[in-house]
Structure 1
Amino acid sequence: MIHMSEADILTSQLDQAFNGLEEKVQECVDKFNAAVHHIVDWAFVLGPAMLYINPRLDEVREGLEKLVKLVRTAVEHHLPVVSLIVQSNKWVADVKAPMNKLTHSTEHLLYYWEGKASEAYKDKVGQQNEAIAFIVNRADAVSAWLMDIAKYNVEYMCGLTRMATDFLGALVAASIEAATVVEIPFAVQNLAGAIGTLVTQYLNNLVDTAKRFVEALSKVRDLKSVMTDRAIVDDRWPQAVIG
């Protein structure tokens, strides 16, 4: 069962992941551009070393471009993910919970009502309770499915945020824009190595999360099967009285 508190936690995690993410990525871009400008200023002095430096800078640039593209795509899907979380809870709060309250009890009939009419009523009540259970179980299945998809999206976003944070950390640590001519080649080498490692690590993790997300989406067929497995005969609610 999905509780409102869980939705609040997921929404909070998602919002925290998005808060400042674009600014952090822009800071990465500005930091990289500052490093490039600094190297260009010393390009004549660096001379042949530029043949080594340029490919390393290209590696960092490629990693940064991947990060920027991922973040732009994620930002575009922020509101749809929040909607998934909200809709998951609506299935529980607005469908499952109210339907549960409609369940009938026939215990009082044992004392006040007997005979064929009582038995017929009990039979109809039983059918109605079965129909209620059908709706309740299906609402729970839909809610759980939506929440699984939302969880994978939140997990993806949190991983992307950590990637941006570590990317910025690597750029700050390298501090190429403040390096001396002698330090520049070593700083670039260290930065390229650090960026290559973290991009590979995070992309692998993000791809794994995306695969699980796609697997969850593929279950929509199972969900349709669940929803069409009718316990309500001829799509009509069981009636206790037919007139």
Structure 2
Amino acid sequence: MAPPPGDGKNINDAGTALKDSTEKVADQHRKTGDALDKLISTVNGTLSDLGKVSWLGGLGGIAAAHFYGDKVHDAMERLKKAVVEVLALVKKILDEGIPVFSLITRAFDWLDRVHAPVTAMSDTAAQYTINVNNWDGPAKRAYDQRVPIQVKAIDGLAAAGGDMASWLAELAAANAAYIVSLFKPLFDIAGALGAAIVDAATVVGALEAIGKSGELVQIAVNAMYEGLENGVNHVTEVVNKMVDAKKVTGELGDSWPQMVTM
């Protein structure tokens, strides 16, 4: 008898986890971009206000405004460049991963729809109706010889489907975990930018806030690139799982289902 179909929930859970992890990173990518835009707008507003009031301090006030204004502007440009590069990297990785995720998702869907019906075929193929039991002669003997082979092949297909489902679920889980760990620094960057927005209302506060967030962004960027370098471990893990998948290749049950012939 074929193994009972029980992989549907595991397949769906694994597919959902993979989808959720990519959507979470994509959403954080958008939020980080929004936070950067808001910080730039806040800093520009602060610099604009500084220019408007600098004349109250005479020449000294104007000179100070230019000095601090230039420092804030330069710091903001450096921070913007670093964050934009990170956002571009994240988008590139997500975009290139879409075909892979789509392939895994389609495989999940196929297994979920096919494995259970195929598993149920085993008992059906092995059943003898009353008319078949009353059948006799060379054709009946040929039929009796073929049925066990068919059942064995169907059982092999069902078992292979179960193995493939488990393999795909593990592969999806590995990808989901890697995505979350790789892009965790993106959440730190968004937090740093959000904190900087609050302190950027004054020119001195803006300069200090940009400096602090710049340091945090650099730490996050380094962590992300370190994660990419460690990606070889992830690739190795995936390849090992692909090697494990070899057990579900080849002829099923040592044979393919054959039609009954004389």
Provide the TM-score with structure 2 as the length reference. 0.64
Change in 2 beyond 3 A, CA 1:229/1:203: farther
Query: Alpha-carbon deviations, 1:117-159, whole Å to 9, x = none?
Result: 8887555333222211221122223333333333344344445
**Corresponding residue for residue 97 of structure 1:** 116
Amino acid at match of 1:6: D
Out of 148, 172, 180, the residue aligned to residue 203 of structure 2 is 180
Cα shift at 1:91: 1.8
Segments of 5+ residues of structure 2 without an aligned counterpart are 1-6, 52-63
Partner of 1:66: 86
Listed as ranges, the matches of 1:95-174 within 5 Å are 96-104=115-123, 105=126, 123-159=145-181, 162-174=184-196
2:32 to 18, 22, 25: 25
Contact 1:167 1:195 (C-alpha < 8 Å) held by counterparts: yes
CA contact (8 A) 1:7 1:89 kept: no
**C-alpha distance in 2, partners of 1:60/1:81?**
31
Deviates more, 1:81-90 or 1:213-222: 213-222
What corresponds to 2:61 in structure 1? none
TM-score, with normalisation over the residues of structure 1?
A: 0.68
Gap runs ≥5 in structure 1: none
Matched to 1:69, the amino acid is L
**What amino acid is the match of 2:117?**
P
Q: Is 1:242 aligned with 2:258?
A: no
Alpha-carbon distance in 2 for matches of 1:143, 1:171: 42
Asked if structure 1 preserves the Cα contact closer than 8 Å seen for 2:188 and 2:220, the reply is yes
User: What's the secondary structure of 1:101's corresponding residue?
Assistant: helix
Bigger CA radius of gyration? 2
Q: Measure the CA separation in 2 of the matches of 1:67 and 1:91.
A: 35
Size of the aligned set, in residue pairs, is: 234
Q: CA deviation at 1:17?
A: 1.6
Give how far 1:162 is off.
4.7
Q: How does 1:172-211 map to 2 (within 5 A)?
A: 172-175=194-197, 177-181=200-204, 183-205=205-227, 208=230, 211=233
What percentage of aligned pairs have identical amino acids? Answer: 18
Deviations 1:13-49 (A, max 9, x none): 25742664453132133145346645797772238x9
Q: How large is the RMSD of aligned CA atoms in angstroms?
A: 4.3
Deviation at 1:81, TM superposition (A): 1.6
CA distance in 1, matches of 2:40, 2:145: 76
> What displacement does 1:213 show?
4.8
| More helix as a share of residues | 2
